[in-house]
Chains A and B, each alone.
Chain A
Amino acid sequence: MKILLVEDETLLSDSIRSALVQEGFSCETALSFQEAREKLADKIYDIVVLDINLPGGLGFDLFGDIQSMDSHPGVLIISVRNSLDDKLRGLNLGADDYLVKPFHLDELLARIRSIIRRRYPQDSEELVYHNLSYDLAANQVRVNGQELKLTHSQLRILYYLLVNKNRTVSKESLSDYVLKDDIDMVDSFDYIYTHIKNLRQKLKKEGCEVSIVTMYGMGYTLKKSDGN
């Protein structure tokens, strides 16, 4: 997967790039509008991570170049602009997702992975891990084909863990992803802990081969259960 990162802040660009490289993506960066335009004309990318405020122009104006490419890359906008107007504008122009700065790197990676999944569907619209499957279209979780009733927050937790399967997800990024702006309304770790406890019980009851493992001091990982 080739990713073009269009971001004018060198420091941020570097961090994102190293995170992407760690995840096994090949990543190129563009620091200005002009540079992004040249790179888009030169090479073929699968994903474009695009900032809106760029020296030399607005990221919105790059959509013409992006759409004219043969590979039709997926676009993820990252911007400080938080207004509904900007989000709608970006999505109407053909962006796949819109992420408001500042964001957690985990969240960025999760969004990129979900774009890839949508763009290049391997086995329909489903996330499958052993006998656990997540139907993205219907927003349903099945264990051995049997539907599992989950609350909204539990669905989000499971989705996030599934997207990051076999990786450790920190409590912070998980609670950030699940609670978003409501993070300061409750003791978020306790909230997450309560939901994870319930989620574990539900999964175990249905005989799921996958379980949520606590990595002490680091977070949670979705792993195949050991034996029992």
Chain B
Amino acid sequence: MAINQYSKRFITKIKKVYVVALPILLVLTILFNNLVIDFYYKVIYRNRFKAQAEEVVSYVELTGSFPKIEGITYRPLPADTKPYSYFEYHFFDVVTVDSDFWSILFFNQHLNNKRIKEFTTTAKIKNRWYELKITKIELNEPGGPENEAVLFAVAFSLILFFLLNWGFFQFNLNRVSYNLWRPFYQNLRRINSYHIRNKEPLQLKDTHIREFELFNQAILDFTTKTQSAYNQLREFTENTAHELQTPLSILLAKVELILKRTSLESENRKELLDIKKTIVRLSGIHKGLNLLSRIRSIQYAGNIEKKEINFNELVRESLETYEELIEYRNLTVTLQADTPVLLSTNEELVRILVDNLLRNAVQHNVNQGEITIRLTSRGFEMSNTGSVVEGRTEDLFARYHTKSTDNGRLGLGLAIVEAICETLDFHCAYAYQHSQHVIRIHWQK
């Protein structure tokens, strides 16, 4: 990614973090240094001294005599004492060199100082208990234990410093990548939730990153153009659907006036009746398109009036409307509804939805066929017998899917169903099961 305003700002931010983080790292290292030296003296060095002292004790017990070594004192103990041993370590007893601030800070008085170590233990010689106290006073000498301690401490501190730095680096790396890509993902979310039917144009966040800005600009240009084209088309469809009804009514009125003339020959009459039939069909197509564009504009406006409706009642009313047609075609209708289904939604649209589905089920049925309506709280299902649909079933909801047997009529019904489902956030699906056409509508996902 190229250096730009945003990444520069971010790098400055990281630099600032480093200014704070480095002293903290240093202090941590120093504290750790101190701990390591303490550890060296209290564990490693102590064990070494203890081993020396134990050698003396074993020598005493073996020979039964006390060696004349400087720093070892003996003391007889009463007969009934129990054996004991302890280790002592002092700085303060024999302090000869002044310790300054830095040596205390870095080495906790371990260097440039005198130490006194004492190992006290008991030993039994010829059935008598003696106390042995081995004392050692040390100075900071070349080649002494201090050099070893310092090496030890430095090695450990280096390892720690390296690990902390690595950790910090990793943390920053993640942060940089998260921060740099954040505006990208924010805008990606907006693009994903954007739909061309939305009234609001797409809004993208300013990223201040040149590459992202270029990309966003391209997307904004693209969506704005597409949206305006879509809106033009939508308005055009709405207007056409409206405007064409007037000329159609003129045509219809003229043809009917001619038909009213008694002097008409029956041949001409037949031709005129065909014209009239076509006009009526054209008007029906326009009514369908008009409804479709009206649903789209409700969707576009985004404010859908909702109210509580009883779905069972609605289905029953719809069945009543088509009662005679159902009877005429000898269809058997089964309504399966266990519980009353209450739904908060737009009444007008749901009415059109149910009517259209039922119409569809009646229209595309065979005589003496069946219609089954199943109603649950999660959705409803309408299945009907009918001829097998040829071609891909996914196209069934597409607007202009027609069958050759439809006599040129446009299959607008299912397109309207789909548009309503989209507007009301329902989910609709088609399946062909047990030689029945099944359309399922779900309102709960």
Binding site for B on A (CB under 8 A): 9, 11-12, 15-16, 18-19, 22, 80-84, 100-106, 151-153, 170, 172-173, 176, 181-186, 191, 194, 217-218
Q: Which residues of the other chain, B, contact A185 by a CB distance below 8 angstroms?
A: 325, 359, 362-363
Q: Check if B325 sits within 8 Å of A183, measured CB to CB.
A: no
Q: Check if B257 sits within 8 Å of A172, measured CB to CB.
A: no
Given contacts A173-B256, A191-B325, 20 further A-B contacts (CB under 8 A): A12-B249, A12-B250, A15-B256, A18-B257, A19-B253, A80-B245, A81-B242, A82-B290, A102-B248, A102-B249, A102-B253, A103-B249, A103-B252, A151-B327, A152-B324, A170-B259, A182-B359, A183-B280, A184-B284, A185-B359
How far is B250's CA from A183's CA once the two chains are assembled, in angstroms?
Answer: 21
Secondary structure of the B contact surface, majority rule: helix
B412 to chain A minimum Cβ distance, whole angstroms, is 11
Instruction: Confirm or deny: B88 has a beta carbon within 8 angstroms of a beta carbon on chain A.
Output: no
Q: Check if B273 sits within 8 Å of A172, measured CB to CB.
A: yes
Q: Check if A15 sits within 8 Å of B254, measured CB to CB.
A: yes
B319 to chain A minimum Cβ distance, whole angstroms, is 13
How far is B252's CA from A105's CA once the two chains are assembled, in angstroms?
Answer: 8
How far is B266's CA from A17's CA once the two chains are assembled, in angstroms?
Answer: 26
Partner of A186, one of B254, B256, B281, B328: B328
Q: Which residues of the other chain, A, contact B248 by a CB distance below 8 angstroms?
A: 101-102
Residue of A nearest to B249 (CB): A102
How far is B270's CA from A40's CA once the two chains are assembled, in angstroms?
Answer: 41
Q: A176-B280, A182-B359 are in contact. Are A82 and B252 (CB under 8 A)?
A: no
Q: Check if B249 sits within 8 Å of A184, measured CB to CB.
A: no
Q: Which residues of the other chain, A, contact B253 by a CB distance below 8 angstroms?
A: 12, 15-16, 19, 102, 105
A8 to chain B minimum Cβ distance, whole angstroms, is 9
Residue of A nearest to B254 (CB): A15
B325 to chain A minimum Cβ distance, whole angstroms, is 6
Q: Which residues of the other chain, A, contact B287 by a CB distance below 8 angstroms?
A: 82, 181
How far is B363's CA from A112's CA once the two chains are assembled, in angstroms?
Answer: 33
Residue of A nearest to B322 (CB): A182
Which residues in window 46-99 of B have CB below 8 A to A? none
Q: Check if B362 sits within 8 Å of A102, measured CB to CB.
A: no
How far is B321's CA from A152's CA once the two chains are assembled, in angstroms?
Answer: 10
Q: A9-B246, A82-B290, A184-B281 are in contact. Are A22 and B260 (CB under 8 A)?
A: yes
The proximity string for B residues 350-384 relative to A, scoring 1 for CB distances below 8 Å and 0 otherwise, is: 00000000010011000000000000000000000
Q: Check if B250 sits within 8 Å of A9, measured CB to CB.
A: yes
B444 to chain A minimum Cβ distance, whole angstroms, is 28
A-B contact pairs, 25 of them (CB 8 A): A12-B249, A15-B256, A15-B257, A16-B253, A19-B257, A80-B245, A101-B248, A102-B245, A102-B248, A102-B249, A102-B253, A102-B283, A103-B252, A104-B256, A105-B252, A105-B256, A105-B257, A106-B256, A153-B324, A172-B276, A181-B287, A184-B363, A191-B328, A194-B328, A217-B269
Q: Check if A217 sits within 8 Å of B266, measured CB to CB.
A: yes
Q: Which residues of the other chain, A, contact B359 by a CB distance below 8 angstroms?
A: 182, 185
Interface extent on B, as a size class? 35 or more
Instruction: Confirm or deny: B414 has a beta carbon within 8 angstroms of a beta carbon on chain A.
Output: no
Instruction: Confirm or deny: B141 has a beta carbon within 8 angstroms of a beta carbon on chain A.
Output: no
Q: Check if B277 sits within 8 Å of A172, measured CB to CB.
A: yes
Q: Which residues of the other chain, A, contact B280 by a CB distance below 8 angstroms?
A: 102, 172, 176, 183
How far is B252's CA from A12's CA once the two chains are assembled, in angstroms?
Answer: 9
Q: Check if B246 sits within 8 Å of A12, measured CB to CB.
A: yes
Residue of A nearest to B294 (CB): A83
A17 to chain B minimum Cβ distance, whole angstroms, is 10
How far is B359's CA from A173's CA once the two chains are assembled, in angstroms?
Answer: 21
Instruction: Confirm or deny: B279 has a beta carbon within 8 angstroms of a beta carbon on chain A.
Output: yes
How far is B356's CA from A185's CA once the two chains are assembled, in angstroms?
Answer: 11
How far is B180's CA from A168's CA once the two chains are assembled, in angstroms?
Answer: 81
How far is B144's CA from A85's CA once the two chains are assembled, in angstroms?
Answer: 103
Q: Which residues of the other chain, B, contact A106 by a CB distance below 8 angstroms?
A: 256
Q: Check if A101 sits within 8 Å of B256, measured CB to CB.
A: no
Q: A101-B245, A102-B248 are in contact. Are A151 and B283 (CB under 8 A)?
A: no
Residue of B nearest to A219 (CB): B259
Q: Check if A181 sits within 8 Å of B284, measured CB to CB.
A: yes
Residue of B nearest to A19 (CB): B257
Instruction: Confirm or deny: B348 has a beta carbon within 8 angstroms of a beta carbon on chain A.
Output: yes
Instruction: Confirm or deny: B221 has a beta carbon within 8 angstroms of a beta carbon on chain A.
Output: no
Q: Which of A19, A82, A100 has the most CB of B within 10 A?
A: A82
Instruction: Confirm or deny: B329 has a beta carbon within 8 angstroms of a beta carbon on chain A.
Output: yes
Q: A22-B260, A172-B273 are in contact. Are A151 and B324 (CB under 8 A)?
A: yes
